Structure 1
């Protein structure tokens, strides 16, 4: 797995001889957090986006939020919890921000504030043949599997009807796919690529779904955001400003590439919400 070089933003300056003055790190913004000097991040284990690493966090989201903490001279403290508890930790002031491949949705925006898009996560097709055309696939007598609750699920139900099987999570889908109980899987492109890097889904071709008007997510991929408590404009403005710097200098693209994904997915387009 490739890693991009770290950026040093805090340094100690020599006062005299072998003694040093206090930390000379200058934060990019005047930012207050729940714990002074610390950015507390709620997340869950969701490779390749959020992965525990000792007392820290790696993965695409982990690398980006860690860099933002550095830019603000803050110590990063990740808290790994069950997926259903991540947002709650922010709402009850146990964490400043939530990360972990969270889609920008209209429903989520009613209870949380969302950063500008960090990157996009596209619909992928997992098959032995490399098929991309969803309409063509729907005309074949094949069982197709996907995951409940994704932004493409409702459209896939209309397109594939009774030939679509839904699973509670990507692991369950992958198990049925490799066992032959499902012919083709439709899930996150990035998750599939990462699974192959870890030795799973051998013999399967994972490709981006071809743009299909009846499946909106194939035309407008989900935009991923960091979530924070409503009204915390100071934090939101700092995150957005730092994301712009990282997108402009290529750090967001490099974080994607570090986990085998495409830097092109840092080209997020105009912010939008999934209805």
Structure 2
């Protein structure tokens, strides 16, 4: 009877250990390197996008370069931005590099790295629009934002009740609404829209305002649970800035 009880206790402990182990995404490759599941935004050029069925962009190349520098592997998982933080919180992801602005609200639910990119929000308008040049001009207009982004937050904090705001799940659809005169302006990070206009000179869009914010982007992990990965990111980022690799990646997509 005593042996049966000991066996049951041992089995329970084993199952608990197994459950904890299975709950972690990080694994190891055949050569013993740690492997992390890292999300990027599904469509967010120049930070992340698909080209010839390959994941491309600043965020993608940066996390791969940091992984190489710090001796770990990454599995890139493109996702809609709105689902990334919930996936980090639920343990489906080890981290995310998705052009996410570092904010006080987000700091309550995730831990951020040191800033890896200085961004800034601008209003994007139709090429023929001459009415929007300042933040004040956005009042009373039809605005579109991408769910969960700095643009959505800016509209909520500064234009609630002062303008019509419609939410989209992806950047392409949001900008199409402006191009097709279904909206007067969209909010987007300056590097994103600058890159978009660079590769699509025929787009019926232009930057309508100066930068409205001074946001910084950070790498995200689950709050209080992944200091090791966060430390590797910060250390690798510092090394890439010192050896010039960081600037090479940035210049590739923004110059």
TM-score (norm 2): 0.70
CA distance in 1, matches of 2:185, 2:123: 7
Within the candidate set 42, 45, 58, 1:45 is matched to 42
Q: Identify if the C-alpha distance between structure 1 residues 144 and 245 changes in structure 2 by more than 3 Å, giving closer, same or farther.
A: farther
Whole-angstrom distance in 2 between the partners of 1:186 and 1:93: 30
CA contact (8 A) 2:111 2:220 kept: yes
Separation of aligned partners in 1, 2:86 and 2:184: 37
User: Residues of 2 paired with 1:182 and 1:92: CA distance?
Assistant: 35
For residues 55 and 74 of structure 1, do their structure 2 counterparts lie closer, same or farther at Cα, with a shift above 3 Å needed? farther
Post-superposition CA distance 1:13-42 (Å, at most 9, x none)? xxxxxxxxxxxxxxxxxxxx8212123212
SS at match of 2:162: helix
Q: Provide the aligned C-alpha RMSD in A.
A: 3.1
Other structure's SS at 2:67 match: helix
Can you give the 5+ residue segments of structure 1 that lack an aligned partner in the other structure?
Answer: 1-32, 212-217, 262-275
* Contact 1:195-1:201 at 8 Å conserved across structures: no
* Equivalent residue, structure 1, for 2:69: 71
State whether structure 2 residue 224 is matched by structure 1 residue 222.
Answer: no
Residues in 1 aligned to 2:142 and 2:244: alpha-carbon distance in whole angstroms: 36
Who is 2:56 aligned against?
58
Instruction: Report the alpha carbon displacement of residue 88 of structure 1 after superposing the two structures with TM.
Output: 4.1
Q: C-alpha distance in 1, partners of 2:205/2:53?
A: 35
Change (3 A) 1:167 1:88: closer
Q: TM-score, normalised by structure 1?
A: 0.66
Pair 203,52 (structure 1): closer, same or farther in 2 beyond 3 Å:
closer
Q: SS at the partner of 2:221?
A: strand
Partner of 1:143: 141
1:242 counterpart = 2:242:
no
Equivalent residue runs for 1:132-211 within 5 Å: 132-135=133-136, 137-138=137-138, 143-147=141-145, 149=148, 150-157=152-159, 161-162=162-163, 164-169=164-169, 170-199=171-200, 202-206=203-207, 209-210=209-210
**Which structure's residues are more often helix, by fraction?**
2
How many residues are matched?
Answer: 217
Structure 1 residues 228 and 146, CA gap change in structure 2 (3 angstroms): same
**1:259 matched to 2:253:** yes
Runs of 4+ aligned structure 1 residues displaced above 4 Å come to 52-56, 129-132
CA distance in 1 between counterparts of 2:195 and 2:79 reads 21
